[in-house]
Amino acid sequence: MKDKENEKTARKLSAVGNDGGDYESSLRSLKRAENEKIQKTLFSVPSNFNKLEAARENLMRKSEEVSGLKIEGYDFDKGVNYDEIIKSFASSGFQASHFSRAIEITNKMIKESAFIFLGYTSNMVSSGNREVIRYLVKQKKVDVLVTTCGGIEEDIMKCLGDFFLGSFRANGSELRRRGINRIGNIFVANNRYVEFEKFCQKVLEEIYRENKVVTPSEIIWGLGKKINDEKSICYWAWKNKIRIFCPAIQDGALGDNIYFFKFKREDFVVDIAEDIVNLNNTTIGLKKSGVIILGAGVVKHAILNANMLRNGADYAVYINTTPEYDGSDSGAMPEEAVSWGKIKGEEESVKVFGDATILFPLLVGESFAKIRKA
């Protein structure tokens, strides 16, 4: 069998001009010849084929004309006009146009006297957005707040001491040695947590003496009442009787304080079930419901789930940076919420991919700070 293969190869070598040179060199020549033959077979075109015409036909094909809003940014030759810059976002494309739509939807919520749910993650309170949220609660611009545990405790902590700008690239081991906690590029001395514990334990004791079973929202009002500081979101929520719901109240320093307090008062009970009832009941019978959600996670789901009980919110604005590829509710687009009955329709909802520390103050400046509810 091998002799036949060698004979066959020898004939091929002869065909490509082997004149008795070394066998390996001739074999390589044979392989090159075979490859060239394959290439010619695969890529050969008819002699009358016009390559230029084919290229032009594919690239220069006729199309339909497009109508609608022309893409155009702000013209700084007209000077600096911040109102006009914001207006130009509508025709800028990308997330600028989505943000313009968010302003439009928010203004519609306000003009139609929608009941407005504001959800925000704790980092919004870590940052300067705390003051923006405080303004909305003080001025009764929103009706219900939903946040995480950090959104409560850090609001109170900022009344006890300041947070400071740091660096995203600070050395974690060095910060730990110094007792400094890092939230992104914000530094928080651990003394704030020590001070918060002293304050919180006193408040929990006062609450316990009045009622051994309380809801998270009642604890939050208690903290706001006791802090008695007009810089505080919780203070204005208590004063204006605006509920702050915290579905994950145990997940943070406030949860730690409840844990410590339970060692002293074992019969102290935090009734999260009653707050589920309270939150869900706020949606029942509303003529119009609007949601604004900064960030994602539990606050986003809690608000949308409550609105599902009324067959969806009428208006929705999301601002976050979370993608939807993993199927989480955090990254889900408004149209997914429509499929669940959490939002009524896609026409009055938008998700803006962006940093809420930049976008939310602009949104408030172009809506709540300009117009009042009807």
Q: What is the pLDDT of residues 256-304, one digit of tens each?
A: 999 999 999 999 999 999 999 999 999 999 999 999 999 999 999 999 9
The CATH number linked to 356 is: 3.40.910.10
Question: Is the residue at 28 inside a domain?
Answer: no
Cα–Cα dist 255/268, whole Å? 13
Question: Is the residue at 328 inside a domain?
Answer: yes
What is the reported pLDDT for 10? 57
Nearest to 334 by CA among 322, 346, 320: 346
Residue 295 φ/ψ, nearest 5 degrees: 90, -160
What is the reported pLDDT for 33? 73
Cα–Cα dist 220/1, whole Å? 90
User: Which residues form the domain of 357?
Assistant: 92-143+282-374
The answer to whether 344 is a known catalytic residue is no
What pTM value is reported for the model?
0.86
Domain tally, the chain: 1
Instruction: Spot the catalytic one: 141, 342, 344, 351.
Output: 342
Question: Is the residue at 9 inside a domain?
Answer: no
Rg (CA), the chain: 33
Average pLDDT per block of 10 residues along the chain, 374 residues long: 59 54 67 70 63 88 94 98 97 98 98 98 98 98 98 98 98 98 98 98 98 98 98 98 97 97 97 98 97 97 98 98 96 97 94 98 97 60
What is the reported pLDDT for 346? 80
Cα–Cα dist 221/228, whole Å? 11
